[in-house]
Amino acid sequence: MSNEEPTDLDWIQLRRDLGPVHHVETTGEKFVRKFGENPFVPIGCLATAGALSYGLWCFRTKRSKLSQRMMRVRILAQGFTIAALVTGVVMGAGKSLKG
């Protein structure tokens, strides 16, 4: 009897006894986790998108000086976002080496 193959019901009971093997992370949970790890990246992305949108609106309404200024702000926001990404990668690599 000890050489018998387990039945399907035995596997179901074993999985119940072990509990959940892994948790599948939803998109919202992943966003909250990533935002907690490095909040400056999404802030920089929003600033970039905002400056671009407002700059394009100013261009459309013939306010060229303000449009030009907003395009410069967009470049600064992109630079900030890239710096935040690089900083996050370096900090993450440092944590993985320590632990």
| Residue 54 CA: distances (Å) to CA of 12, 40, 72, 80, 86 | 57, 21, 12, 18, 27
* pTM, full prediction: 0.68
Residue-wise pLDDT tens digits, 35-82: 888 899 999 999 999 999 999 999 999 999 999 999 999 999 999 999
- Chain length of the chain: 99
Which pLDDT value is given to residue 99? 63
CB-based burial, 21-56: b 16+ in 10 Å, e otherwise: eeeeeeeeeeeeeeeeebebbeebbebbeebbebbe
Q: Is 80 within 8 Å of 40 (Cβ atoms)?
A: yes
